[in-house]
Amino acid sequence: MERIYLDYAATTPTDPEVLKAMEPYWTDIFGNASSIHSFGQEARKGMEGARQTLADFLGVKTDEIIFNSGGTEANNTAIFGAALALKNKGNHIITSSIEHHAIIEPCKFLEKQGYKVTYLPVDKTGLVSPEDVKKAITKETILITIMHANNEIGTIQPIEEIAKIAKEAGIYIHSDAVQTVGHIPIEVNKLGVDMLSLSAHKFYGPKGVGALYVKKGTKITPYLHGGDQERNRRASTSNVAGIVGLGKAIELARQKMEEETKFQIGLRDFLIKEIPKRISECCLNGHPERRLPNNVNFSFSYIEGESILLNLDFIGIAASTGSACTSSSLEPSHVLLAIGLSHEIAHGSLRLTLGRWTKKTEIDYLLEHLPKIVDKLRRMSPLYEPH
């Protein structure tokens, strides 16, 4: 049986060229990048090369890049770092109701410490209103954190407009760009953010490595304490092999992005057009145009998304109902509830995300079998009455 992977938003396979670039750093160039001897300096050279590659991709300076363990740490560092550094200035944070849990949970933790957090609503397509951001600002606001694009429904936020509002008010703005870096063009200076998070495993790099961009002059308190790595901003022995892999992955993304994006948009739009033709009583979640090139999210009435996933997996197709970080939860997606779906409809969601190795024949195979699966599950559902 052929195995088809349509869950690239959860994680991506490491590109063979990335593995090849990393290999020497496991056994030959294995020194500690903080050591002054030749072993250490060879490792540091590889790490700094990756830093330059990433900085060039983002259009920033190398000393504005902090390497870390991935998106969760980057988001936590941005939120806790700003909250602690600016605690004498204020205690109010603005975010959205559809953020990843790596944003929501740190905010909830800070609320228990006396901070105030405003969770902005979104419209039915998942968009945050810049006007709502402006209205939410108070004299105590120290940070605005809004994701660049949503991991579940693919909606791309108007970060440039929100960043202008933040700048006019003299407030730091952070964006979780884990789903966008490596997939759509990003110029940090054009976006106007002070901090930006990314993770290598979302763009065909290794797991366990990522980065936080911090604009020069932005004050944050270090999240980890110990050594003086990353210019005293992130203590821990550097994951040199992982960082080199991140650098190679972003280099490949830059080379392949235009071609990949064009191909994925074609498949995405084909799915968005064909699924409602073949399956009744379903709805597209997310913005119809302002969405990631590889994201398709539908809700199907009368059935549960988990049942769809199990049936798809049985015929070799891997997909998702939402964020991989909450896939074991029985609660409906907070993102789908935030865009106005009922609990029943939200439970029936299916997220399909395309990637570098997705083929048209795989999409055809999905479209052949998905209607049969939905029909079978609906006939088993006490809620369904065929029309």
Residues designated as active site: 325
Q: How many CB atoms lie within 10 A of CB 385?
A: 8
Closest CA to 99 of 22, 178, 167, 209: 178
Q: Which residues of 123-134 are buried (b: 16+ CB within 10 A; e: fewer)?
A: eebbbbbbebbb
Amino acid identity of 257?
M
SS3 315: coil
35's tokens: 């050591």
The alpha carbons of the chain give a radius of gyration, in whole angstroms, of: 22
Task: Let me know: does 189 contact 375? Beta carbons within 8 Å.
Answer: no
Q: Which residues contact 15 (CB under 8 A, 6 or more apart)?
A: 204, 205, 248, 249, 252, 356
Say how far apart CA 192 and CA 189 lie, in whole Å: 5
DSSP 286: S
Element housing 145 (H / E) = strand 141-145
Q: How many CB atoms lie within 10 A of CB 386?
A: 7
- The Cα angle at residue 145 between residues 178 and 151, in degrees rounded to 5: 35
